[in-house]
Amino acid sequence: MKTLTINRPDDCHLHVRNGEILKTVLPHTARQFARAIIMPNLKPPVTTLAQALTYREEILQAVPGDMDFTPLMTLYLTSATTVDEIKTAAASNIIQAFKLYPAGATTNSDSGVADIKAIYPLLAALEHHDLPLLVHGEVADEACDIFDREKMFIDTYLADMVVNFPSLRIVVEHVTTTEAVQFVQNAGATIAATITPQHLLFNRNALLAGGIKPHYYCLPIIKRESHRLSLVAAATSGNPKFFLGTDSAPHQTSLKENACGCAGCYSAHAALELYAEAFDQAEALDKLEGFASFYGADFYRLPRNSGTVTLEKNAWTVPSIYGEADLSITPLKANDTLFWKLV
């Protein structure tokens, strides 16, 4: 049987929620990843160090006793964030980054930033304290076509941010387009990007052809095939600017299979297996370890993990749901075959 052993990986973009859903999803991540960058878009959002410490504790409580997992905390940047809070966060050794959501761009982004230029003093503080900025790179402009919102964000905001804050480390989260890949490639070493498994494996036909499939609906929305090919090329290139961030975003099934379904794909149940499939299809399994285990840690200036995980090429069927009753979650590729399995 074909096997692949890599250094223990990190998930550099993860939603684990809180309460009951956290208990269902966290073990899925902890069995594969040593660490994950935890997104702060709870209700209410995690905006202070004190809130992040409480949330971190709740996450640690959900780690099964036989697993070793470290949540890496982030804070939600709002127009009410102060320079002092950024200083406190930077000194804490707990907060790894701040997350910028344009107001209205995605799930739980109501508290996001409406006027990005107005928070430039906060970006200056992040740059000064050397804390990375994680960006949901889409405009929330109703007049902008949903398939163009990432490119519009780059042209309108990101290009200017990069020029104004040349030392600020920025992760363009979950890139989905050729334009975003090119932007990151051409920018300086302070600019990197995460790529999700769904954007590597699927194009928009998976979401829209032959019936609408809400479990493929996430933001930024899955694009056409040419963009998917650009993402695969970037992820498998060995360029350290591109690293693993699942954006696994669980929503209970009833809120996905709904007249107004929530955005977010649940991929944590099989994250590495999904990436292995994408890299295998591209005949680039030798590039998976850098993408999954080294480049993210290096960008965040964290030590690389010790230990390894092993995958084997061994087909299995993904369950139809995880979790109990009305809080159950439908995973990506539910009832479908995956060809790689974590040992």
Residues catalogued as catalytic: 247
Torsion on CA atoms 123, 128, 131, 132, rounded to nearest 10: 50
56 within 8 A of 73, measured Cβ to Cβ = yes
Taking CB atoms, the residue at the shortest distance from Zn ion is: 247
- Distance of closest approach, residue 15 Cβ to ligand NCD, in angstroms: 4
In the block, which residue shows the tokens 């699942």?
246
Give the CA count within 13 Å in the CB-facing half-sphere of 63. Answer: 20
Q: Which is nearer to ligand NCD, 41 or 81 (CB)?
A: 41
Quick one: which of 264, 290, 296, 331 contacts ligand NCD (CB under 6 A)? 264
Interface with ligand NCD, residue 263, by CB under 6 A: yes
Task: Compute the distance between CA of residue 244 and CA of residue 195 in angstroms, rounded to an integer.
Answer: 6
Instruction: Show contacts with Zn ion in window 229-268 (CB under 5 A).
Output: 247
Region 135-164 residues binding ligand NCD, contact defined as CB under 6 A = 136
Beta carbon nearer to Zn ion, 41 or 178:
41
Q: Which amino acid is at 187?
A: A
41: contact with ligand NCD by CB under 6 A: yes
The nearest distance, CB 104 to ligand NCD, in angstroms, is 11
Binding partner at 264 among ligand NCD, Zn ion, none, C-beta below 5 to 8 Å by kind: ligand NCD
Distance, CA of 338 to CA of 52 (rounded, Å): 35
| Residue 236 partner contact from Zn ion, ligand NCD, none using kind-dependent CB cut-offs of 5 to 8 Å | none
Min dist. Cβ of residue 219 to ligand NCD (A) = 4
User: Residue 173 CB, nearest distance to ligand NCD (Å)?
Assistant: 7
Which parts of 9-28 interact with ligand NCD (CB under 6 A)?
A: 15
Partner that binds at residue 106, options ligand NCD, Zn ion, none, CB closer than 5 to 8 Å by kind: ligand NCD
| Whether 301 contacts 225, CB under 8 Å | no
Q: What is the 3-state secondary structure (H, E, C) of 115-142?
A: CHHHHHHHHHHHHHHCCCEEECCCCCCC
273 binds Zn ion (CB under 5 A): no
What phi and psi, each to the nearest 5 degrees, are found at residue 207?
A: -85, -35
Which residues have CB under 8 Å from 318's CB, separation 6+? 269, 270, 331, 332, 333, 334, 335, 336, 337, 338
The residues that touch ligand NCD, with contacts defined as CB under 6 A, are 15, 41, 106-108, 136, 218-219, 247, 249, 263-264
